[in-house]
Amino acid sequence: MKRSIVLFLVSFLATAGVGGGIYYAFTHNLIPGVGEIETITPSTTNTEATRNETQYNSDAAAETPATTPTTDDTPKADSTPLPAVPTEPEITEEPIQPDDTTTPNPPTEQDTETTAPEPGSTPGDEETTAPAGPDFTLPNPDSARNEEHRVALLALEAIRHGDLKAALEYLIKRRLMTDSAAAVIQTWAANNTPGELVETANSRREDGNKVTRYRVHTTNGSEDLILDVVTDRNGEAIIENATTAPADKTAITAESDHITATEGFFEAVRSGDMLKACSLITGEEISFATVAGLCMIFEEDNFRMREHSPIRNTFVNDEFAGNLVYLTSANPAITQEARIAIELARTSEGWRVKAAGLEGLLLSYENSAVAEGGRYFPIVKNPKGGDSIALFFGFNEADLTPRSLRQLQIIAELLKGTERRLNISGHTDDIGSERYNQSLSERRAAAVKEALVNFGASADQITTHGLGMSQPRRLPAATDTEQTIDYIRGENRRAEIYLDFES
């Protein structure tokens, strides 16, 4: 009860504006009769409370005369009877906090300043500040899209720095680069001048870490620099691995990994290098016809891999890998990105494209064909299995368009590198007599053969025949509009080149 009265008195006087003085007297046992109550002091582990106590002691010392008060000067307890105290719940022993009105000034910036840990550091590291080193301020800090891109840009600045060795050591100490990556970079920089930095691929490891690949193009050498930046779940990035790759992306070697092989294949397709593209496939689930069709579509709509991270790895093991490849087009009729899913297999010659899912690409191509009118898929399914190349003709015509001639030039390049044979079939729509359409289909097949021979293929490699209107690609439905029916008939006026052949 005695304890409750004392606490009530402290609270009452605090509201009268003298809480600071009571707090001083109470904590220094200046209130007689309460010495048996344990003095309550803030915990030494509580920095803020310790600072508050120190501040209060300092304030009290400033207001107290220099001479130490004698025993007679000790304040006496008030002998006036205290008013009745209402019954209160039991008060637990908690540190008594000073009144808010007398709170000392908040800690200064110097009191609270701490040094942020470096990327990749762990608690307990002796070095808490960045080591001294070369100036690595990026010319344009806003150019970094994220942390991994910033680290890659810092590596590029290091290569361009006057003292390469010191610059790389600086990045190693900051845990932004491994020793092994720095060694490769130093060797590469001795023979190459860095050019553009391009983000080429990304993947996710089983441990959750993200891997972003960058290619530093050389401006005067034969090899590009490949940087793999690993970003952990805390957002800290480090250049974990560095390798080199031929500046000619299509020059795939047995040591090239699946991402580099993917780059090389699509670069060959984009440039219309049919022979090179075909050398980078297994020839099993993806055929020469598919590759030829891809070359045609890429050339017509100027497809290319998108600028940032065009390759996304979906899985990889010792034998197989899967990648999604994102494409953009210069054709204004194609407003969305297209993508191709490919599977690669490891062979004795290195990684090769085993299969390709073209649905996304063909959908984009179809949308642009509808918008422009008169364009049809160059890749069609062969009734015998596999894919074939389709060339299309105008109504009642057997003359090849400039587009068809360019497609045949691509195919002729493939034929000149082999001794295989191919078969060409001519087709018509359902307008006109059967006899007339049979003759028209034969003339269409003959026109294709003639163009191939003019582009350098041997006439002995080519067989032709006409099928008239007997094998249409599509048949109109009773509910189709006249415009739709005309489009379907346009698909049937064609010649098909069967490239899935036997030697």
Give the tens place of pLDDT for each residue, 43-73: 444 444 444 444 434 444 444 444 444 444 4
Cα angle: 461, vertex 464, 467; to 5 degrees: 155
Given this model, what pLDDT does residue 337 score? Answer: 86
Given this model, what pLDDT does residue 488 score? Answer: 87
Q: Using the 8-state DSSP alphabet, how is residue 470 labeled?
A: S
Cα distance between residue 299 and residue 472, in whole Å: 27
SS3 assignment, position 5: helix
- Paired with 215 in beta bridges are 198, 226
Residue type for position 156:
L
Given this model, what pLDDT does residue 379 score? Answer: 78
| Cα 93–chain centre separation | 56
**DSSP string of 155-221, one letter each residue:** HHHHHHSS-HHHHHHHHHHTTSB-HHHHHHHHHHHTT--EEEEEEEEEEE-TTS-EEEEEEEEESSS
Given this model, what pLDDT does residue 130 score? Answer: 45
- Contact partners, residue 73, CB within 8 Å, separation at least 6: none
Instruction: Look up residue 255 and give its two tokens.
Output: 């040591």
Per-residue pLDDT of the chain (503 residues; tens, 9 = 90+): 455 554 544 454 444 444 444 344 444 444 444 444 343 344 444 444 444 444 434 444 444 444 444 444 444 444 444 444 444 444 444 444 444 444 445 444 444 444 444 444 444 444 434 455 666 677 788 889 999 999 999 999 999 988 999 999 999 999 999 999 999 999 999 999 999 999 999 999 989 999 999 999 999 989 999 999 999 999 999 999 999 999 999 999 999 999 999 999 999 999 988 889 999 999 878 888 888 888 888 888 889 999 899 999 999 999 999 999 999 998 887 888 899 999 999 999 999 999 998 888 877 776 665 554 556 777 777 766 677 888 989 899 999 988 788 888 888 887 886 777 889 999 999 999 999 999 999 999 999 999 999 999 999 989 999 999 999 988 989 899 998 898 889 889 999 998 754 44
Residue type for position 425:
S
Residue type for position 41:
T
Given this model, what pLDDT does residue 352 score? Answer: 97
Residue 392 and residue 444 in contact, taking contact as beta carbons nearer than 8 Å: no
Cα distance between residue 122 and residue 117, in whole Å: 8
| Site of tokens 């299309």 | 392
Given this model, what pLDDT does residue 370 score? Answer: 55
Domains of the chain: 2-102 (no CATH), 145-247 (3.10.450), 378-503 (3.30.1330.60)
Instruction: Look up residue 370 and give its two tokens.
Output: 């509808």
Instruction: Give first-to-last CA distance, the chain, whole Å.
Output: 109
Q: Are strands 462-466 and 422-426 parallel, antiparallel or unpaired?
A: parallel
